[in-house]
Amino acid sequence: MRAGFFRRLLSSLIDMTLIFTIIYLSFIAIGRTVLQGKIENYDEINSAYQEIMVVYNANMDDIQKDYDVAKALAGEDEALKTAALDNYLEQSNILNEQNIIDTAPYMEPLGLYFTNVVYYYLFIFLIMATLYSVFLKGLTLGRRVMKLKLTGPVNFMTIFLHDIAFKYLLVVVLVPINVLFALMLIMFMGLIDTALIGATRNKLTVRDMISKITVERTEYKY
C-alpha cells in the first residue's frame, strides 16, 4: 500500500531532526571553534559588539519606560500623547543612528562568521543526509518509525536522486542566495507533493516518478 503525504512528511521530519541534532552537536564540539578561528581577533570583536548592544538595548529600554510614563501622565490629552510619541521617536532614531555607527566596524567580520556558520550547516547536512540515506539503503530511522520502505530499483543513484537531489539539494543551494526563495520553493514542493499524493491514484511525487521508486507502507521486525 502506497504511503500518504503526512506519513512521508513525518518520516522526513524525524530524519531531519536527527541529522540537524548531530550537526548542532558537531558545531558545538568542533565547528564553532574552527569557524571563529578563521576570523582574526574574533573574541575581541564579538565582545566589543556585545557590549555595544547591551548599552544600546538598555538605552532603548529607558526611553521606552520614559514614553510609557509620559503617555500615562498625558491621560486623555491627545496633544501630550502626540508630544510623548514624537519625543520617543526622535530619541529612538538618534539611538538607532548611533548604534549603526558604533557597530559598523564589527559587522563585516561578524557577518562573515555567521555566513560561514550557514555554509557549515548546509554543507554538512548534504553530506550527512546523503551518507545516511545511501548507507541505510533508504531505510532511515524516520521511515522505520513511520513503517515505510522504498520499493523499485533501489541503488546508490536512485536513492541519491529520490532522497537528496530532488528533495533537498535545490533548497540548500537557494538558502545562501535568497532565503525567501528557498522558503517559497519548500512550500511549492509541499503543495505539489500534497496534490500528487492526495489527488492521484498512484500516489507518486515527481521524484518518485523520476527515480522510479515508490514509498510503501510496511511492517518492520525490530
Longest dimension (CA), the chain: 76
Provide the β-strand partners of residue 216: 2, 149
77-124 tens-digit pLDDT: 888 989 999 999 999 999 999 999 999 999 999 999 999 999 999 999
Confidence (pLDDT) at 221: 60
- Please tell me the pTM assigned to this model: 0.80
For residue 77, give the C-alpha cell: 490629552
Confidence (pLDDT) at 52: 96
Q: Which residues contact 156 (CB under 8 A, 6 or more apart)?
A: 134
187-197 tens-digit pLDDT: 888 888 888 88
* Segments making up each domain of the chain, as ranges: 5-217
Q: What is the mean pLDDT of residues 19-23?
A: 96
Mean pLDDT of the chain: 90
140-177 tens-digit pLDDT: 999 999 999 899 888 999 999 998 988 888 888 888 88
Strands 214-217 and 148-151: antiparallel
Confidence (pLDDT) at 209: 87
pLDDT grade, residue 220 (50/70/90)?
A: low
Confidence (pLDDT) at 86: 93
203-219 tens-digit pLDDT: 888 888 888 888 888 87
Would the pLDDT of 16 be above 90? yes
